[in-house]
Amino acid sequence: MNKALRNPLVFTLFILPALILFVMFFIYPIFSSVYYSLTSWNGVSETVKYTGLSNYMKAFGDERFWISVKNNGWFILFSVCVQVPLIVFFSLLIANVKKLKGLYKTAVFMPSIMSTAVIGILWGFIYEPNIGLFNKLLEVVGIDPVYWLSDERFAMLSILITNAWQWTGFYIVMVLAAILSIPGELDEAAAIDGATGFQRATRITLPLIVPIISVVIMLSIAGAMKAADIVIVMTKGGPAGSTEVMATYMIKYAITNFKYGYGNAIAVLIFMFTLAVTVLYQLLIARRNERIEY
């Protein structure tokens, strides 16, 4: 069998089905998007007019597009700077509890299996200006109600918090698996040598789970770049376009306006930006700490 797999023809035949699927569902759509992004296709017409790079120029010259890019940037920053430290913190806490570990794991994982629509409604109640939980708490300490979703200053933050709540549990379970796979002897040896819990967490556990944290950061970046559903459910990109992200910009300014050519140009830009950010991250940070040897 090993010999047979060295035969290029057999090898090709075996990878052919997967290759066909890959081309059909990944390569072809990308090329198709690039092609349509160079046209003024309205999404319905059979005639397609070539317009060169005008769609890209239009996007680069549109202030609204850059607002949406900036908001994607907020998603990335919030994920990396706030969400990831919380993920690591809670993972370390859960890994060290003696009782009901399963319950904690299930509880934190729960939001990630809920639909975004449900989460939107749930958090809509929490952010409700009159009866919402947050404003009730503010009322207790004598602070005026905050219009979380209708005030430009708070709308983006509200979405970021909700999005983090939805996905933190998913990543905690990933990090937790990495922590629990660390040989127990390392921790025990350190404890015998007199290391405190904090020292063991920061000097032993944390360095050993760096590769999985790196994966979590990369997945968060990719997720942040394609975020759309949570924005649609919570604010529809408003108020006044202040929470628009690239994907919702694409839907609102292109697809719903019968501008599929422009929509495809935005889709290509999202792909390129995501690729650029993830490649940069891989090259500059992730590659340096890919493997841990015990």
Partner 1 sequence: MKKSLTLLLSLIFVTSAVMTGCGGNNTTNSKGEGNTNGAAESTNAAATEEPASSEPFEMTIRHTQVGADKQKRLAILEDVVKKVESEVPGLTFKLDGVDSDVNRKEKLRGEMAAGNPPEIFDLFGSPDSKIYAKESKLLDLTPILDELGIRDKFSNLDPFTYEGKIYGLPIGGSGEGFFYNKEYYTGKGWKAPATFAELEQQLADIKADGKVPLAGASKAGWVPLMLANHLWSRYAGPDVTAKFATGEAKWTDPNVVKGFAKYKEWEDKGYFKKGELGFEYAEYTTQFTSGEAILMYDGTWKSSVFKAGQSGEGLIGKVGFFNIPPVEGGVGDQTALMRDVNNGYGFSATAAEDPRQLEAVKSFIKNLFNEEMQLRGLVEDGVLPAMKMDQNVLNENITDDLMSEIVAVLNDSGSSFPAFDSLVQADVTTEISNIQIQKLIGGQTTPEKMAEVLQKVQDEANAAVE
The binding site for partner 1 (CB under 8 A) comprises: 1, 3-4, 7, 9-10, 13-14, 16-17, 42-46, 64, 127, 129-130, 145, 147-152, 155, 235-241, 252-253, 255-258, 260
Q: Which amino acid is at 54?
A: S
Shortest distance, position 128 Cβ to partner 1, whole Å: 8
Shortest distance, position 280 Cβ to partner 1, whole Å: 32
Instruction: Check: CB of residue 124 under 8 Å from CB of residue 234.
Output: yes
Helix, strand, coil in percent for the chain, rounding step 5: 75, 0, 25
Q: Which amino acid is at 229?
A: D
Shortest distance, position 66 Cβ to partner 1, whole Å: 14
Nearer to partner 1, 73 or 239 (CB): 239
> What's the half-sphere exposure (Cβ side, CA atoms, 13 Å) at 138?
16
Nearer to partner 1, 35 or 109 (CB): 35
Tokens of 6: 């060295």
Shortest distance, position 162 Cβ to partner 1, whole Å: 13
Nearer to partner 1, 195 or 255 (CB): 255
Q: Tell me the C-alpha distance between 282 and 35, whole Å.
A: 29
Sequence-separated (6 or more) residues with CB below 8 Å from residue 234: 120, 123, 124, 149, 158, 159, 162, 243
Shortest distance, position 204 Cβ to partner 1, whole Å: 47
Shortest distance, position 241 Cβ to partner 1, whole Å: 5
Nearer to partner 1, 154 or 170 (CB): 154
Q: How many CB atoms lie within 10 A of CB 293?
A: 3
Chain Cα centroid distance, residue 255: 23
Nearer to partner 1, 169 or 241 (CB): 241
Nearer to partner 1, 235 or 274 (CB): 235
Q: Tell me the C-alpha distance between 70 and 241, whole Å.
A: 12
